Amino acid sequence: MAETGTSTIHLEIITPDVAVFNDEVESVIVRALDGDLGILPQHAPLIASLDIWPLSYTKDGSKKLVFVAGGFLEVNNNKITIVSPAAETPEQIDVERAKQAKQRAEERLNGNKDNIDVARATMALNRAIRRIELATSTGPVGTG
């Protein structure tokens, strides 16, 4: 267990394909299904389901963002572990691919709803919008 009074907490963000981030940070803000969570060093143990929303963390006094496509978070022993189906830094986001995904989701939602899974199409649309916003800084990126 980490020493009392430490000024960092370990953050690990993993997907089924890759470890997206693994380092010490000063703070983390995530959007859980029931609201935003701020996590500082020595945070109490916690498990939460995450919404599709950019996570923000502070490292060396600088705020950084990572797109997180849902999943869950565990805080324990001064470590935050986030497991998500997909996560990307702004530099990793393929904006054209995200725009195409947005268009496909919009077409599905505006078409014949008898033949589609509306919840899945809505999630795909939300994921594409958040990725575009984060990569292009044209919208409400981060938390808030």
Q: Hey, which residues does 13 pair with through a beta bridge?
A: 21, 82
Select the more confidently predicted residue: 114 or 124: 124
Q: How far is Cα 79 from Cα 62, in angstroms, rounded to an integer?
A: 19
**Which tokens sit at 118?**
């509306």
| Calpha distance 122→52 (Å, rounded) | 11
The encoded tokens of residue 49 equal 């389901």
Three-state DSSP state, 136: helix
What's the pLDDT at 116?
A: 80
Q: Which residues pair with 88 in a beta bridge?
A: 67
Alpha helices in 15-117 (DSSP H): 95-110
Cβ count near 106 (within 10 Å): 15
For residues 1-14, average pLDDT: 78
Measured CA to CA in angstroms, residue 51 lies from 84, 85, 131 at distances of: 10, 12, 13
> What pTM did the predictor assign?
0.81
Q: Which domains does the chain have, with CATH numbers?
A: 9-88 (2.60.15.10), 93-136 (1.20.5.440)
Non-local (6+) Cβ contacts of 59 within 8 A are 23, 24, 25, 26
Q: What is the pLDDT of residues 47-95, one digit of tens each?
A: 999 999 999 999 999 999 999 999 999 999 999 999 999 999 988 888 9
Residue pointed to by tokens 């709803």:
113
